[in-house]
Amino acid sequence: MVEFVDRSNSDNEKWGGLKKYFGRDDILAFWVADMDFATPLGVQKALKKELSKKAFGYEEIGDDFYEAVINWYKKRHNTVVEKEWIVPIPSVVSALNISAKLWGDNGVLIQPPVYEKFNKAIKLNGVKKVSSPLLKDNGKYKIAYPLPKASVALFCSPQNPTGRVWDKEELEAFAKEAKEQDMIVVSDEIHSDIVYSKTHHPFINFYDKTVLITAVNKTFNVAKFGGGYAIIPNEELRAKFKGFLESLHLSLSLTSAKILEAAYKEEAWVDELIEVLEQNIEYIDKHLTPKIRRSRPEGTYLMWLDFSEFGLSDRELREKMVNEAKLALNSGTNYGKEGHQYMRFNFATSLELVKEAVDRINRVFG
């Protein structure tokens, strides 16, 4: 059962960081991309089992970890994954940075508006940014073609912040152009389990030179433990990626491995979670003022809201949201200049809080 948890008086970043990041703590939090839902009981039990060992010496990641990933992809994504393709990683963000460092010599392609860590990986590793903004066609974001030249693409699937779940034909077209350029594609698929009426297609099904990176953090609300894994079918790319990890003695923690093994037994919980999130989408779609344009998210628990109707600067929009509506949302410009006059709304919380947020927004912007 999906259980709401009131985290407003805890030390998590989403609620505990309101004063630090928004200047006041008497507001409601709809920003950081984690959920106000309890982690599934099966995962909680696995953590308790680990603590019951009392001594915490060295262990190795066992076959159960790899089998859990293989089975999950077969059942949830109709995709065959070989054990040797799976590479444990410290986090998805670390994998973005490693990829920029290893393969970004001739430019790193990104498609804004996009998850802010893509831009940060480029800056931190001193590589050239190649920007190809998504096109907006009748309110729906699409990939722009032809793709500019780059040695590696950081690709977001499903797309954060727009909520797009790329169609099979869109992925085939992207793969075709990447192949023509011999471009490596690093596909961030951390939101791939939270998809609504559409189907998520792992990019490894379309292109050999893919580094798929993901984790259980978003789906099962265990972000504080970090960790994740890459799926790299290409032997040469895999060897280079693993070699870099090994050179710095990087992997994921054994606790994170145990969390994944337990989480990937919680299919029914994920199905219920999606139903809960869909109820929230329905409410927002029905009741939020039409002055704020939006597209129904096809995946993720994030809604991309267009406030351009009001002619505000991004600073004015943020201040109005924080000080008048008393809500914390992410500013659209976090995801590139293409997010001008947008805000990202995380609706992974109780319907009651979603209703309160919609009422406050409507009072200020309606």
- Residue 234 confidence (pLDDT): 98
> Does 13-40+267-365 carry CATH code 3.40.50.740?
no
DSSP characters over 294-311: E---SBSSEEEEE-GGG-
- Residue 167 confidence (pLDDT): 98
pLDDT classification of 279: cutoffs 50, 70, 90: very high
Q: pLDDT of 233-258, one tens digit each?
A: 999 999 999 999 999 999 999 999 99
Q: Taking each helix axis from N to C terminus, what angle separates 92-103 and 235-247, rounded to the nearest 10 degrees?
A: 110
Q: pLDDT of 107-137, one tens digit each?
A: 999 999 999 999 999 999 999 999 999 999 9
d(CA 207, CA 198): 21
Ordered by start, the domain boundaries in the chain are 13-40+267-365, 56-263
- Residue 355 confidence (pLDDT): 98
Q: Average the pLDDT over 199-205 and give the result.
A: 98
Q: pLDDT of 29-85, one tens digit each?
A: 999 999 999 999 999 999 999 999 999 999 999 999 999 999 999 999 999 999 999
pLDDT classification of 274: cutoffs 50, 70, 90: very high
State how far the alpha carbon of 126 is from the alpha carbons of 119, 130, 250, 363, in Å: 11, 13, 22, 45
> Does 56-263 carry CATH code 3.30.930.10?
no
- Residue 205 confidence (pLDDT): 98
Its pTM stands at 0.97
Listed residue (119, 16, 33) closest to 338, CA to CA: 119
- Cβ-based neighbours of 129, under 8 Å, separated by 6 or more: 107, 108, 110, 119, 122
Mean residue pLDDT across the chain: 97
Beta bridge mates, 328: 29
Cis peptide before 290 (omega within 30 of 0): no
- Residue 346 confidence (pLDDT): 98
Residues in the chain: 366
Q: What are phi and psi of 303, to 5 degrees?
A: -120, 135
Helix (H) and strand (E) counts for the chain? 13, 15
Tokens coding 121: 């990986």
Q: pLDDT of 178-196, one tens digit each?
A: 999 999 999 999 999 999 9
Q: Average the pLDDT over 197-220 and give the result.
A: 98
Q: Average the pLDDT over 158-163 and give the result.
A: 98
